[in-house]
Chain A
Amino acid sequence: MTQRYGLVIDLERCIGCHACTIACKVENGMEAGSGIRVETIGGPHPDTPAGVFPQLSMHFLPVPCMHCDQPPCRDACPNEAIYKRPDGIVLIDEEKCDGCQACEAACPYGALFYDPDKDVERKCTLCHERLDEGFEPFCALCCSVEAIFWGDLAEPDGKISQLISQRKAYTLKPEKKTGPAVYYCPPMSPKRA
């Protein structure tokens, strides 16, 4: 059976510590937040809640590349530099990328970033080089509260498939019909404002 690698991120567990962001920077050497960033589900600024004091709510949302079934970035690239591996991972061929940034505008998740030093686009690779050696993505390993789970979505009894069904995990912007491979377990409490 074909593999379909993905992530499940548990928003009940995430405390917004940014360890994933820094871990990604250690592993992949990008500007902080390029590979995975932590957004605040709440007020207008990072680390601020929604609502009016004292009726408040705040959660955190780590956002990596969604490694979509139908990646809009791939379709937008004029140089055919973006491709999908058979296991579902979306990668950028830095030899073919000319830094035109058309993919950035096409991505509904803001997952691509221009690297001015190398004049190429960069993004989360799901740490494919680590996966190929039998390790998990570095963000999942370094998450201090075990909120990021890596696995094979094609395994119906696998860890992340179980989490998705048990916790009614959802994907971001389903209306874009991109088919993300990153699922989010909703926070259980308190209720969102």
Chain B
Amino acid sequence: METDHPPAPYQPPDFGTASGRFEFYWERLKEFGQELPTHLEPLESTRNPLAQKYPLSYFTTHSKYRSNSMFTNVVWLRELDPEPLLEINPVDATPRGIKDGDLVRVFNDRGEVKLKAKLHQGVRPGLINIFQGWWPVDYVEGTHQALTHDTINLAQQAIDEPNSALLDALAEVELVEEG
């Protein structure tokens, strides 16, 4: 079929780079030590001394029930997914006296959120998760983003794509009230 549409979005050599090619190696990012894709230790990894105070890696992963915070207020979907829950492995929950359905407080130096706990073998020990996209009004108190930070990755900023790592946070959990 004839079409005016190009067969590929980038017709080489038209990447807008000095070489005209896609550049895996980029000298412009040398000052960040990222001229090649490289592993960087998370700002708040469990090897950080902060982990002695806040030993759990705090994740806010995507939910199948919404798209970010969109559709969170759709009543029909809320029938399937009524409230935010802290997913925590029994290995971490039991020593803290936390059982299924207990009200817990998740916190670090930046903030806190209160919600019910859901014991979950699919969450690895040392990690806790709250599905992102819930609205502050959905929580008993606080919000999941109160614990995250918006530290910009400078290498990303240098190429005009600033972003922050919302999965890069340490936190601790405590029992508030038995469910």
A45 at the interface (CB under 8 A from B): yes
B7 at the interface (CB under 8 A from A): no
A22 at the interface (CB under 8 A from B): yes
B8 at the interface (CB under 8 A from A): no
B79 at the interface (CB under 8 A from A): yes
Complex CA gap A53/B100 in Å reads 17
With a cutoff of 8 Å between Cβ atoms, the chain A residues found around residue B123 in the complex are: 53
Partner of B121, one of A22, A31, A43: A43
B120 at the interface (CB under 8 A from A): yes
- The answer to whether B80 and A53 touch across the interface, beta carbons within 8 angstroms, is no
B144 at the interface (CB under 8 A from A): no
Given contacts A43-B120, A45-B118, A48-B121, are A53 and B89 in contact (CB under 8 A)? yes
Specify which of B64, B89, B125 lies most central, judged by the most chain A CB atoms within 10 Å of its CB. Answer: B64
- Which chain A residues (1-47) contact chain B, with CB distance < 8 Å? 16-18, 21-22, 25, 31-33, 43-45, 47
- The answer to whether A45 and B124 touch across the interface, beta carbons within 8 angstroms, is no
With a cutoff of 8 Å between Cβ atoms, the chain A residues found around residue B13 in the complex are: none
- Which chain B residues (4-34) contact chain A, with CB distance < 8 Å? none
With a cutoff of 8 Å between Cβ atoms, the chain A residues found around residue B64 in the complex are: 16-18
A158 at the interface (CB under 8 A from B): no
- Shortest distance between the CB of B21 and any CB in chain A (Å): 38
Residue of B nearest to A58 (CB): B122
Specify which of A16, A48, A52 lies most central, judged by the most chain B CB atoms within 10 Å of its CB. Answer: A48
- The answer to whether B121 and A49 touch across the interface, beta carbons within 8 angstroms, is yes
With a cutoff of 8 Å between Cβ atoms, the chain A residues found around residue B100 in the complex are: 44-45
A174 at the interface (CB under 8 A from B): no
- The answer to whether B79 and A33 touch across the interface, beta carbons within 8 angstroms, is yes
- Shortest distance between the CB of A90 and any CB in chain B (Å): 25
Complex CA gap A45/B75 in Å reads 21
With a cutoff of 8 Å between Cβ atoms, the chain B residues found around residue A49 in the complex are: 121-122
Residue of A nearest to B63 (CB): A47
Complex CA gap A32/B76 in Å reads 7
Complex CA gap A22/B66 in Å reads 13
- Shortest distance between the CB of A139 and any CB in chain B (Å): 15
- The answer to whether B121 and A56 touch across the interface, beta carbons within 8 angstroms, is yes
- Shortest distance between the CB of A62 and any CB in chain B (Å): 13
Given contacts A31-B79, A32-B76, are A53 and B118 in contact (CB under 8 A)? no
Residue of B nearest to A45 (CB): B118
A54 at the interface (CB under 8 A from B): yes
- Shortest distance between the CB of B117 and any CB in chain A (Å): 11
- Shortest distance between the CB of B73 and any CB in chain A (Å): 15
| CB pairs A–B below 8 angstroms (8 shown) | A18-B65, A22-B77, A32-B79, A33-B79, A48-B121, A49-B121, A52-B121, A53-B122
Chain A residues at the B interface, C-beta cutoff of 8 Å: 16-18, 21-22, 25, 31-33, 43-45, 47-54, 56, 58
Chain B residues at the A interface, C-beta cutoff of 8 Å: 64-65, 76-77, 79-80, 89, 91, 100, 118, 120-125
- Given contacts A17-B64, A48-B118, could you give 19 more A-B pairs where the C-beta distance is less than 8 Å? A18-B64, A21-B80, A22-B80, A25-B76, A32-B79, A32-B80, A45-B100, A45-B118, A48-B120, A48-B121, A49-B121, A49-B122, A53-B89, A53-B91, A53-B121, A53-B123, A53-B125, A54-B124, A56-B122
